[in-house]
Amino acid sequence: MATLVSPEIRQASAVTSDKSSSATAQVVAAAGDALLPVYRRAPFEIVRGAGVELFDADGRAYLDFTSGIAVNALGYGDPGLTAALHAAADGLIHVSNLFRTAPGEELAARLVELSFADSVFFCNSGAEANEGAFKVARRWGRARGGTAKHGIVALRGAFHGRLSATLAATDRPQYRLPFRPLAGGISIHERDITELSAVLDAETTAAVILEPVQGEGGVRVLDAGFLHELRALTRERDILLIYDEIQCGLGRTGTVFAYEHSGVEPDILTLAKPLAGGLPMGAILMTAEAASTMQPGDHGSTFGGGPFVASVANHVVGRLSDPSLLAHVTREGEWLGEQLMGMAERTGKLRAVRGLGFIWGVDVHEKAGNVVGRARDAGLLLVSAGDYTVRLLPPLVATRAELARGLELLEAALA
């Protein structure tokens, strides 16, 4: 598709290059008409990336503080990732999960080594990982307490994906309501231990799912004390705890897993976004206890954990668990937070600053989309997290100078 469309766009851009840039934008929009219009796309075509920058078809550079929504942790054109992709392309691409292949086994062993988990299931996206986690929890719940023990509890502000069960666990009515009926037995409650204590029931609840750092819901770092209390409650009532670390996991907060900050371990944890360096991949990590009822035939995926994607993910996970990268994210993330707090005081234009590592959210006094739009015009790519929160997700390799440039552009866009 890209090869069919792009030459037309470039030709059209060349023809209109002496006219207004909005003429070019219209041509690009027209060329995208065959795509289902479910995204509000920026009106330019990205053709290239290098380091922490993206370039559009007119050669304009943009500092990318979205990282493909927390996917491109290593930035663009990383030589190690490129080499891993080439090496993987020389090997097997796919053989199906009917047969053993080494890269997926190695990747699972690596993730087990790095985490609380004993076993891993691979799939192709974040929503798929969470849906699989719900299946694991429900299979376990049923074995443990009978058919009634299938309830899944999610939290206010949660985002867990766009499929039928994950959407039911996502706290955005406008995403959810047009698609009812969604998967049943899933409810959303306040991030409050008293309310959860009234809701979590040993007989009917299989699992609680939460993001240790909520992403789409406005970048909220869940309180360590709350997580400790919730862990105690779920243990007491024989309920599994699922962490969705699809956005906040794999180095983004300065530790391999975000749960390391509180030290409160889950029974199941899901990964996706940065896992395979931009190739689609998800993973469900679980304890032996959580996995104990899953049998051959209980779950599966045609593509999940194939040799090509798993080879690349082995490289990426190695890089994202490297202590020097994690130390960089911790140190520069602290600096980034201090700068944002300073900006809040100096300008009076940020109502709140939340985050850690390389995931930050700032609440603004106007629609976040306005700030995102002005930043983009000035050459900085940002993404919102709810109506009034602007989110910063720089590639984990961004240097202090690059972060400082982004902050300058952000401050100008607040004006």
Stretch that binds ligand PLP, among 11-19, 122-130, 287-295, 373-381 (CB under 6 A): 122-130
Q: Using CB under 6 A, which of the segments 30-38, 104-112, 123-131, 285-293 binds ligand PLP?
A: 123-131
C-beta nearest to ligand PLP: residue: 126
215 binds ligand PLP (CB under 6 A): yes
Q: What is the DSSP string of 308-342?
A: HHHHHHHHHHHHHT-HHHHHHHHHHHHHHHHHHHH
C-alpha distances out from residue 21 to 7, 25, 275, 316, 380, Å: 18, 6, 36, 38, 18
List CB contacts of 234: < 8 A, sequence separation 6 or more.
200, 208, 240, 241
Cβ nearer to ligand PLP, comparing 165 with 414? 165
Residues of span 128-157 touching ligand PLP by CB under 6 A? 130
Going through 118-251 in order, the beta strands assigned E by DSSP cover 119-123, 151-155, 186-189, 205-210, 213-214, 220-221, 240-244
- By CB under 6 A, tell whether 126 contacts ligand PLP: yes
Q: Which spans in 53-187 are helix H?
A: 67-70, 79-89, 102-114, 126-145, 164-168, 173-176
Nearer to ligand PLP among residue 88 and residue 359 (C-beta): 359
Q: How far is the CB of 118 from ligand PLP (least distance, A)?
A: 23
Rounded least distance, CB 38 to ligand PLP, Å: 12
Q: For residue 384, state whether it binds ligand PLP (rule: CB under 6 A).
A: no
Please state, in angstroms and rounded to a whole number, the distance separating the CA atoms of residues 355 and 60. 30
Structure tokens at 88: 């993987």
What are 352's strand-pairing partners?
363
To ligand PLP, the closest distance from the beta carbon of 243 in angstroms equals 10
Residue whose structure tokens are 């993973």 = 283
- The catalytic residue positions are 159, 244, 273
Assess 122 for contact with ligand PLP (CB under 6 A): no
176's CB contacts (< 8 A; 6+ apart) are 167, 168, 170, 182
Name residues contacting ligand PLP, limited to 241-300 (CB under 6 A): 244, 246-247, 272-273
Taking the C-alpha atoms of residue 330 and residue 340, their distance in angstroms, rounded to an integer, is: 15
Question: Judged by CB under 6 A, how many residues of this single chain contact ligand PLP?
Answer: 15
Residues in a beta bridge with 155: 189
**Per CB under 6 A, does 159 bind ligand PLP?**
yes
- In the numeric block, which tokens belong to residue 375? 């930043």
Min separation Cβ 93 and ligand PLP, Å: 21
CB of 329 to ligand PLP, least distance (A): 18
Q: Which of 78, 211, 332, 411 contacts ligand PLP by CB under 6 A?
A: 211
Compare residues 110 and 162 and give the one whose CB is closer to ligand PLP: 162
Rounded to a whole number of angstroms, the minimum distance from the CB of residue 154 to ligand PLP is: 11
CA–CA distance, 72 with 93 (Å, rounded to integer): 22
The residue (of 123 and 409) whose beta carbon lies closer to ligand PLP is 123
Spatial CB neighbours of 57, under 8 Å, sequence gap ≥ 6: 9, 10, 13, 24, 28, 44, 45, 47
- The two three-digit tokens of residue 102, written as one number: 């080494």
CA distance 250 to 86: 23
Assess contact for 332 and 406: CB atoms under 8 A.
no
Task: Tell me the window of 179-187, 209-217, 313-321, 407-415 that interacts with ligand PLP (CB under 6 A).
Answer: 209-217
Does 161 help bind ligand PLP (rule: CB under 6 A)? yes
Task: Give the span between the Cα atoms of 276 and 245, in whole angstroms.
Answer: 14
Tell me the window of 40-48, 73-81, 158-166, 391-399 that interacts with ligand PLP (CB under 6 A).
158-166
Q: How far is the CB of 199 from ligand PLP (least distance, A)?
A: 21
When asked if residue 160 is in the footprint of ligand PLP (CB under 6 A), the reply is: yes
Q: Which residues inside 233-252 make contact with ligand PLP, applying CB under 6 A?
A: 244, 246-247
Residue with Cβ nearer ligand PLP (138 or 160): 160
Render the burial of 332-361: b for 16+ CB within 10 Å, e for the rest. bbeebbebbeebbeeeebbeebbbbbbbbb
Binding mask 329-348 for ligand PLP (x = CB under 6 A): --------------------
Among 127, 200, 207, 375, binds ligand PLP (CB under 6 A): 127
Confirm or reject binding of residue 125 to ligand PLP (CB under 6 A).
Answer: yes
* Residue 406 · residue 372 · CB < 8 Å: no
What's the closest the beta carbon of residue 392 comes to ligand PLP, in angstroms? 15
Residues that bind ligand PLP (CB under 6 A): 125-127, 130, 159-161, 211, 215-216, 244, 246-247, 272-273
